[in-house]
C-alpha cells in the first residue's frame, strides 16, 4: 500500500486518468504532450476493455475520426502505421490497431487490473472546507490480486465511460416488474451473431428489440440477416414513440454516411417483413409465459410471447467513485451543469451540440474532470471526436494554458439523429415532427412508410409464472 505524506509537492504527483479506453488514452497522450505525467488506471487486463466487448460491431465513424492527433504523434516514433482514414473499423479493429498500441507506447503510465473504488481530497471528505484546494487527491484502488492501494494525484480525469450502466427495459427509468427475474433471456448488448452460441440463441426464434438508436438499428440489421438464413427468425421492434420521418435517422443526408446507413438497414428490416414495429409501447412489466416472455405496456397492451429480449435503451453514468468530491451535475442528464444545456436531447441533435472543453466540464472541486461518454450523462449524442476535443482542452487547462483550453478546434458533422428522451419520447408528437414543436424538423430524413404495428393481445389471459432462468 502506498501511504501519501502531507508534504508531497503537487507538481511531482501524476494526473490520474480513470479508464484506458479511447478518451482516457487520448487524455494521457495530450498530458504527455503538455509535459504532465499521467497515470492511467484500467480495471481490465488490457486497454479498451469495454470496446473489446463490442468488438464485432462496426463503427459509423472512419479511422480519420477515431485517431486522436496527440495519440498519433505519440505512436509515430514506434513505427505504427495509420490505417486507411476512409475505412470503417470494427470495435475489435479499433482496440487492436490503435488503442492497444497507444497504451503500449504509454508504457508504465498505464496500469491494468487497477479498479478505482473512490476519489477524495487527502484528509478531507466532501464536507470539509479547511485548506481543501491545497490538498492532493487521494485515489483508492482494488487490485486484481485482491489487495488495495491508495495513491495521490495532482488532478483526476474520469474517462471510465458508461458501458457498465445499460438502461433498463422499464420506460420510467427503473427495471420493469419481472425484468430482474428474466435476466437469462434479456441481453443489453448488440448480439455477436458470428459466435455460434449467440447465433443459436436467436436463430429461428422470436426476439424483441427495445430501443431507437444506432445500437437498436444495428441489432435489427443483424437479426434481419439471420432471418434470411434461418426460417422462423423474427424481430419485434419496440419503440416508445411513433413512426415518423425521423425514426430511422438522417439516411443519405447524414454527414456520417455509415450512421445513416444503419437507419436505412433498420427500415429495410421492417419493409422486408423481418421485423414488426410496435409503437408508443412503454414497457412496465415482463411476465413469464411457459418458456417465453410477455412484455406489458403501461396502457395495458400485451405483446405476443417472445423467446428473447434485447434491450438497447442507452447507458447512464455511475458517479459513485466520485461521491466524496464536490461535483455540480445537472439534475436530469447527470452531466456537468455547464455542459448539460449544450447536449440536452430535448433540444439538441443533428450537429447542434456545440464543441466544448474544460470550461464546460469544470466542477466546484478544482482539477477534477469527467470526460468522454460519462461526461454526457444520459445524453445519447456523444462522438469520439467530441471526447478528443474535451481532453485536448482539459490538458491545456491543467497546463495553465487558458487560451488553448478555451479555443474551439472541432467542427461536428450533422448527426442525423432526431430523437432522444423527453419531448421526443412522446408517441403523440410523431405527427408534428416537422417543426420545432415536435423537435424532429432539424434533420432531412428519408421518406418512410409506416411500419406494421403488432396488434395487442388484450383479450388473452396469460399465466404468470417464473420465467426460465452496455457503449
Q: Considering the chain, what is the average pLDDT of its residues? A: 84
Report the percentage of the chain scoring pLDDT > 90. 71
Min mean pLDDT across 89-93, 170-174, 319-323, 427-431 is at: 427-431
Q: How sure is the predictor about 90, in pLDDT bands with cuts at 50, 70 and 90?
A: very high
- How many Cα atoms are found within 13 Å in the side-chain-facing hemisphere of 311? 28
Least confident of 41-50, 158-167, 212-221: 212-221
Mean pLDDT of 448-466: 30
Q: 263 or 302: whose pLDDT is higher?
A: 302
- The pLDDT tens digits for 363-382 are 999 999 999 999 999 998 88
Q: What's the average model confidence in pLDDT over 435-458?
A: 31
Measured in whole angstroms, the distance separating CA 142 from the mean position of its chain's CA atoms is 24
Q: Which residues contact 9 (CB under 8 A, 6 or more apart)?
A: none
Please compute the mean of the pLDDT values over residues 156-164 and round it to a whole number: 97
The pLDDT tens digits for 277-328 are: 999 999 999 999 999 999 999 999 999 999 999 999 999 999 999 999 999 9
Residue that is written with C-alpha cell 466540464 in the block: 361
- pLDDT tens track for 217-239: 999 999 999 999 999 999 999 99
Q: Where are the alpha helices (DSSP H) in 175-331?
A: 196-202, 214-229, 257-271
DSSP output for 153-182: ESEEEE---STT-B--S-TTSSPPBTTGGG
Helix H or strand E encompassing 387 = helix 384-398
Given a cut of 70, is residue 470 above it in pLDDT?
no
Question: What's residue 257's pLDDT?
Answer: 60
Model pLDDT, residue 260: 65
| Higher-pLDDT residue of 266, 320 | 320
pTM for the whole thing? 0.83
Is residue 225 within 8 A of residue 193, CB to CB? The reply is: yes
Q: State how far the alpha carbon of 281 is from the alpha carbons of 210, 297, 454, 466, in Å.
A: 10, 6, 11, 23
Contact 8, 136 (CB under 8 A): yes
Residue 423 has a pLDDT of 33
Amino acid 332: pLDDT: 92
Higher pLDDT: 240 or 15? It is: 15
- Looking at residue 426, its pLDDT comes to 43
Residues contacting 437, CB < 8 A, separation 6+? 429
Looking at residue 349, its pLDDT comes to 52
* Closest residue by Cα to residue 416 from 373, 379, 446, 394: 446
* Closest of 411, 31, 373, 53 to residue 256, by C-alpha: 411
Helix (H, G, I), strand (E, B) or coil at 427: helix
CB 192 within 8 A of CB 223: no
Amino acid at each position: 500500500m502506498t501511504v501519501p505524506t502531507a508534504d508531497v509537492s503537487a507538481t511531482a504527483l501524476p494526473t490520474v486518468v480513470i479508464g484506458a479506453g479511447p478518451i482516457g488514452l487520448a487524455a494521457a497522450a495530450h498530458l504527455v504532450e503538455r509535459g504532465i505525467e499521467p497515470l492511467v488506471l484500467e480495471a481490465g487486463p488490457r486497454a479498451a476493455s469495454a470496446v473489446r466487448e463490442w468488438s464485432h460491431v462496426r463503427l459509423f465513424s472512419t479511422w480519420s475520426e477515431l485517431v486522436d492527433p496527440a495519440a498519433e504523434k505519440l505512436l509515430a516514433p514506434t513505427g505504427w502505421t495509420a490505417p486507411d482514414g476512409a475505412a470503417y473499423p470494427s470495435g475489435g479493429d479499433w482496440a487492436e490497431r490503435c488503442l492497444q498500441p497507444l497504451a503500449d507506447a504509454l508504457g508504465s503510465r498505464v496500469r491494468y487490473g487497477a479498479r478505482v473504488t473512490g476519489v477524495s481530497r487527502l484528509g478531507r471528505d466532501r464536507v470539509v472546507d479547511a485548506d481543501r484546494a491545497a490538498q492532493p487527491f487521494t485515489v483508492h484502488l482494488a487490485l486484481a490480486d485482491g489487495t488495495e492501494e491508495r495513491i495521490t494525484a495532482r488532478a483526476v480525469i474520469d474517462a471510465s465511460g458508461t458501458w457498465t450502466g445499460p438502461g433498463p427495459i422499464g420506460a420510467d427509468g427503473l427495471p420493469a416488474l419481472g425484468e430482474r427475474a428474466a435476466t437469462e433471456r434479456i441481453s443489453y448488448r448488440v448480439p455477436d451473431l458470428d459466435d455460434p452460441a449467440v447465433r443459436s440463441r436467436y436463430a429461428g426464434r422470436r426476439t424483441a428489440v427495445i430501443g431507437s438508436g444506432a445500437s437498436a438499428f444495428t441489432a435489427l440489421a443483424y437479426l434481419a440477416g439471420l432471418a434470411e438464413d434461418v426460417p422462423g427468425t423474427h424481430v419485434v421492434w419496440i419503440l416508445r414513440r411513433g413512426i415518423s420521418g425521423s425514426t430511422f435517422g438522417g439516411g443519405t443526408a447524414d454527414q456520417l454516411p455509415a450512421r445513416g446507413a444503419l437507419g436505412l438497414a433498420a427500415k429495410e428490416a421492417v419493409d422486408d417483413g423481418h421485423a414488426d414495429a410496435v409503437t408508443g409501447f412503454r414497457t412496465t412489466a415482463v411476465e413469464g409465459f411457459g418458456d417465453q416472455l410477455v412484455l406489458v405496456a403501461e396502457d395495458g397492451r400485451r405483446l405476443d410471447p417472445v423467446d428473447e429480449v434485447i434491450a438497447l435503451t442507452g447507458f447512464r453514468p455511475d458517479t459513485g467513485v466520485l461521491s466524496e468530491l464536490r461535483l455540480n451535475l445537472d439534475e436530469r442528464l447527470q452531466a456537468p451543469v455547464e455542459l448539460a444545456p449544450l447536449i440536452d436531447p430535448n433540444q439538441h441533435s443533428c450537429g447542434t451540440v456545440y464543441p466544448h472543453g474544460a470550461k464546460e466540464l469544470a466542477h466546484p472541486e478544482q482539477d477534477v474532470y469527467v470526460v468522454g461518454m460519462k461526461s454526457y450523462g444520459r445524453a445519447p449524442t456523444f462522438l469520439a471526436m467530441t471526447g478528443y476535443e474535451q481532453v485536448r482542452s482539459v490538458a491545456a487547462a491543467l497546463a495553465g494554458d487558458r487560451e488553448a483550453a478555451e479555443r474551439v478546434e472541432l467542427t461536428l458533422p450533422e448527426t442525423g439523429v432526431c430523437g432522444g428522451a423527453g419531448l421526443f419520447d412522446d408517441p403523440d408528437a410523431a405527427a408534428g415532427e416537422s417543426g420545432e414543436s415536435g423537435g424532429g424538423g432539424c434533420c432531412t430524413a428519408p421518406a418512410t412508410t409506416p411500419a406494421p404495428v403488432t396488434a395487442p393481445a388484450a383479450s388473452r389471459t396469460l399465466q404468470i409464472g417464473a420465467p426460465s432462468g452496455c457503449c
